[in-house]
Amino acid sequence: MTTATTVRLHKALYLPAAIQQAAEDFKDFAKFHVELDGDHHVVTLTDPDPEADGDIAAEFCNFALAHTAARKRRKPG
């Protein structure tokens, strides 16, 4: 049986490149599939590492938000 977790990230708050970077950061802990659904990026996490400590989905969201903030700070005003 495959375990899957889905998170919806509003596109006004999360940049696609930041979500992809977070997925790359967490590739050793789960598989990630990202698609756009209206105003949300829908991220499905599958095959989580059973040895991982903590909530992979929550930490992934934190990283995606941090990457978004960093990218937005770098944009010229």
Contact 49, 28 (CB under 8 A): yes
Residue 30: closest CA among 65, 71, 58, 66: 58
Tens digit of each residue's pLDDT (9 = 90 or more) over 20-69: 999 999 999 999 999 999 999 999 999 999 999 889 999 999 999 999 99
Contact 29, 63 (CB under 8 A): no
pTM assigned to the model: 0.89
Q: Which two tokens stand for residue 67?
A: 């990457």
Instruction: DSSP letter for 30, please.
Output: -
Domains and CATH numbers, the chain: 4-74 (3.30.310)
CA 17-19-22 angle, to 5 degrees, is 110
